[in-house]
Structure 1
Amino acid sequence: LQEGLLHVSEALFCDLWCVLGRVDSLEKLRLCSPAELYALAEQIIMKYASSAAIKRLEKLPRDQQDDILYQATLFSRDMLDYMDFNDAMRVGDVGRMEDQLPRLLFRYVGGRNAKYAVEILELLQALHKEWTPEVMTFIMRYCWLANTTGHPDSFMAFDMLQEHNIRDIKHIFASMGPFATWEYIGKISQAIPTMRKVKDHVEADINHFRRGKSHTSPDKEEDVARLQSVFHCSRVWRYRPTRHLNDADKPSNILKQGSNPDRLGKARENWISSRMGEHSVEQVWQDSGE
């Protein structure tokens, strides 16, 4: 799914660069100066991949709206957020991840993902109201992302790392036989990261015909070029008020719906209610036998 989204978005943006630059291929943009390229990039963001661009299209009378252009603009804006967050996780930039939290909140509220919205509100409350600066820095730096390789572009979320650990426990270093007790599995689980390094080292030194474990995508250039050609022939980025879709086929502006004060208020009420409850102030000491 992610690969498909990235290919479609790349083809859309490549076609948009060509349309605004008035060229038939990206190579011809090399003749532009840095200032001209910057101006084109700014125009792409402001007019074709931003909430302001979407709002401008929504204000048009219904008979003058272009649903295809609106859908492409909506998709481009959302994909920029997605790619920014994904890239921030990969390189370990927790500051960019924090900047995306309000937009994630709007998306969860607009998409009616109530539990995720509560989690984001809880995190924002802790970051800005409850945690000390030292605690906040520690959690953001050491509890959001993990890097088991030391390479600069190899960060991953801790839940993804845990999925890798579960795979190794259940399959790669699975314990079988009469001695595979829970106690034994608990003992070797702590050694799995080291065992993984040893396995990789031995495979790299001895087995030169081993199959790589990293996922590599096939060459995407041909697929992206075909998609770009289709988008260009369809004149996706050309305003045509006659292109209308059925209401069932029109995409929803989840970010706009999530920023609605009424929906935000309900999400806030759900979050507050999840925090309310009786808490005991008694201290029960275990009997020491004395």
Structure 2
Amino acid sequence: MAQEHNIKDIKVTWRSFGPGATFPYIQKISPAIPVLRAVKESIASQFPSVRGRGTRHGAPSKDKDVQRLVDMYNEAKVHEIKPGRTIPGGPTDSAADFTTMGATKLMLDGVFERWWSERSFPRATTEIYNVEE
């Protein structure tokens, strides 16, 4: 089974040649596979919500997936009010309203008008067909 995982990693997970990988390439990439696996597992452990069901094949269960996400959210406790907790930078440290700024820029720079003028042209509404065709 371990050898099958190695073959999959060489030919699929970290492939650059695909199934047509040459032996020199396989010899070159093989020593790096344990490191690449460790990096992948490290990142997955830091972001558990990315991988909802784990690393094994099995029948998907939306109830279990949703429950796992709910449990992760509850464990993070980001929704709980903690008296005395402050935002670094003070009350003036808030994100700018980029959505409004972007929409305003689109309107003031004439993007909407230019978009419409490039797409607005007279169109025929009649349908004329040749009976013989």
TM range (shorter): 0.3 to 0.5
- Greater helix share, structure number: 1
Largest Rg, 1 or 2: 2
RCO higher in 1 or 2 (8 Å CA, sep ≥ 6)?
1
TM-score, normalization by structure 2:
0.35
